[in-house]
Amino acid sequence: MTDYAAKDVPMTAQARVKTTRNYATDLAARGEPMVFAMGGSLAIGLLMIIGILGLIAWFGFTTFWPQHIVQVTSKDGKVIAGEVFRSESFKPADAQLAAVPAESRAKIEEDLGYAERTLYRVGNYDLYGEDFQWRNEYDVAATEMPADMTFIERQEWGPFVGRITALSLNGVVTQNPTLDAVNAAVSEGQARREAILDLKTDEIGRISTEMEELRLEVKSAALDYGATDQRTLDKTAEVAEKTKALEAQFAEKTTTLQSLQAEDAKYTMTLADIGGQTKEQELSSIVRLYQPNQMSLFEKLGIYFGRWGEFIFSEPREANTEGGVWPAIVGTLAMTVLLSLLVAPFGVMTALYLREYAKQGRLVSFVRICVNNLAGVPSIVYGVFGLGFFCYVLGGTIDQLFFPEKLPSPTFGTGGVLWAALTLALLTVPVVIVATEEALASVPRSMREGSLACGASKWQTIRWIVLPRALPGIMTGLILAMARGAGEVAPLMLVGVVKLAPELPLDLSWPFIHLDRSFMHLGFHIYDVGFQSRNAEAGRPMVFVTTLLLIAIILAMNATAISVRSRLKRRFAGSQF
């Protein structure tokens, strides 16, 4: 290039263009295309997240809203009544199309051979053997919404859609009762049901538990002293006397229970579906009933929030497709908290040793590689390991040492919340180790040297200088571990989670936390309802609303942990020297 500045000669326009071209930077070298690509990828990812969360939120929040009951009359005279569940387009087969009236066939041909159909939730499973029925739009002659159509939620057989034709209260029959009278009778029936359940679970259940404990005492004495030892014989006689008293109480309570059940059977109502089929229904088996076609907005809001309360605080029913998820909420929280308490010390101590004490070399590098590879092991492998090692080896040993009288029925030798938490702790500990090592490495070396120069030992430096400033990073690893552990399902299916738990892992009986008990989990509940239900359509709303609840619980736990981490960051901000 000509050096115009040295010759003190003005640059021509052609020379300026040439110089500009020589000094111009290629677009790819400046990185603008990659900036746009990375920004676009971020935008697509955010849209995907917002889309899936929006879909879950929409279906979750609208699940419990009471829908109108539509009476549909087909052209062949068949009548059904139910809630509109969903509509879709479909392509009728040639045989179906041939039976379609000419005017409807012409419209289908205009739509490229596609027709519309609607799925109605008709309920009445005990009468029809199905919960849902399709109706093709070209087969529908008329639709209407009768004001007296009633939606009745029951403890068994799912909802009933129809009319209340009679109310029988201890022999007094009222034909075509008012809705207020029926609701008042249903409230009394629910009170009787609660009394029966309390008698079954609290009193009769307590007596049965005490009798089982006495039986185990005799077995334990026989194992300790021998079956013919005098101490065993004395214990047997003592237990026999106590058992006799308990059996008398059991017989008395059973008689009372039978009397309550016989009295409860006298309070019924007669239900009729849209076709006239009738059914006698006990009032105590009714959860709620309402007539949605004549309800106001505030009445619908009452039903909506009442269903949310039932969903959160009650137990499931109808193969988990209805009712609540309170046992699953308790099980999920108990397992996640126990997981956090187990994974934090193991992960932090391992990272401390690798970063602060271990001599750096090939062996430590190999250990780090192994830790990183553990994060990629499929979760079901951890479940198999937990079942084999924790349940069978450790649990079986504990049963032989501490609970021999209960064998062959296992106590700790089967799935339970303790083994589930330990299994998931192993699954998530690599995340905590890596995050803790990075947090320890981020503490400035000057702070360590300053502490050592002041006469502190290495442990004192770690305890009072390094760990407090690394806590935000450690909390990050713990947050990631909690989020992954709370959403895992595959390993839990092998080490403790069940479809329906008879007892909660947390209750008011000593020792309050029962580590040997199986438990329900929201993630497994979603899998069970979505893929193991007798009717996928009936379980789909529960899938969305349970997913929404699980996301909300995980967000709440993570928000709490993030808040603690933020306070720790602010506490040590600007303390570097």
The C-alpha atoms of residue 299 and residue 352 are separated, in whole angstroms, by 59
Per-residue confidence (pLDDT) for residue 10, from 0 to 100:
54
DSSP-derived 3-state class of residue 290: strand
> Which positions ≥6 away from 230 have C-beta within 8 Å?
none
The C-alpha atoms of residue 542 and residue 320 are separated, in whole angstroms, by 8
Burial of 564 (0-12, 13-18, 19+ CB in 10 A): middle
- The angle formed by the CA atoms of residues 55, 337 and 352, to the nearest 5 degrees, is 110
The answer to whether the CB of 414 falls within 8 A of the CB of 391 is yes
Which DSSP string do the residues of 204-227 spell out, in sequence order? IHHHHHHHHHHHHHHHHHHHHH-T
> DSSP letter at 412?
S
Per-residue confidence (pLDDT) for residue 106, from 0 to 100:
83
Per-residue confidence (pLDDT) for residue 569, from 0 to 100:
77
User: What are the pLDDT tens digits along the chain (577 aa)?
Assistant: 444 444 454 555 555 545 545 555 565 556 567 778 888 899 999 999 999 999 999 999 999 999 999 999 998 889 999 999 999 998 888 888 888 888 888 888 888 888 999 999 999 999 998 899 999 998 899 999 999 999 999 998 989 999 999 999 998 999 999 999 999 999 999 999 999 999 998 899 899 999 999 999 999 999 888 888 888 999 999 999 999 999 999 999 999 999 999 999 999 999 999 999 999 999 999 999 999 999 999 999 999 999 999 999 999 988 888 899 999 999 999 999 999 999 999 899 999 999 888 888 888 888 888 888 888 889 999 999 999 999 999 999 999 999 998 988 899 999 999 999 999 999 999 999 999 999 998 888 888 888 888 888 889 999 898 988 888 888 888 888 888 888 889 999 999 899 988 888 988 877 888 999 999 999 999 999 988 877 778 888 999 999 999 999 988 888 888 888 888 778 766 554 4
The C-alpha atoms of residue 444 and residue 433 are separated, in whole angstroms, by 19
The C-alpha atoms of residue 114 and residue 136 are separated, in whole angstroms, by 11
Per-residue confidence (pLDDT) for residue 143, from 0 to 100:
93
Per-residue confidence (pLDDT) for residue 108, from 0 to 100:
85
The C-alpha atoms of residue 284 and residue 522 are separated, in whole angstroms, by 29
The C-alpha atoms of residue 358 and residue 469 are separated, in whole angstroms, by 21
Alpha helices, DSSP H, located in 378-533: 379-385, 396-402, 417-442, 445-453, 458-461, 467-487, 492-495, 522-531
Give the distance, in angstroms, between the CA of residue 422 and the centroid of all CA atoms in the same chain.
Answer: 19
pTM, to two decimals? 0.88
Per residue in 293-321, pLDDT tens?
999 999 999 999 999 999 999 999 888 88
The answer to whether the CB of 43 falls within 8 A of the CB of 104 is no
> DSSP letter at 391?
I
Per-residue confidence (pLDDT) for residue 572, from 0 to 100:
67
As given in the structure block, the two tokens for residue 340 are 């956090």
Per-residue confidence (pLDDT) for residue 28, from 0 to 100:
56
The answer to whether the CB of 246 falls within 8 A of the CB of 217 is no
The answer to whether the CB of 264 falls within 8 A of the CB of 189 is yes
Per-residue confidence (pLDDT) for residue 4, from 0 to 100:
44
Per residue in 64-75, pLDDT tens?
999 999 999 998
Per-residue confidence (pLDDT) for residue 577, from 0 to 100:
43
The answer to whether the CB of 133 falls within 8 A of the CB of 161 is no
**How are strands ordered across the β-sheet holding 69-74?**
132-136, 115-121, 79-90, 69-74, 140-144
4, 141, 436 from 98: Cα distances, Å:
90, 18, 70
The C-alpha atoms of residue 421 and residue 176 are separated, in whole angstroms, by 55
Rg (CA), the chain: 34
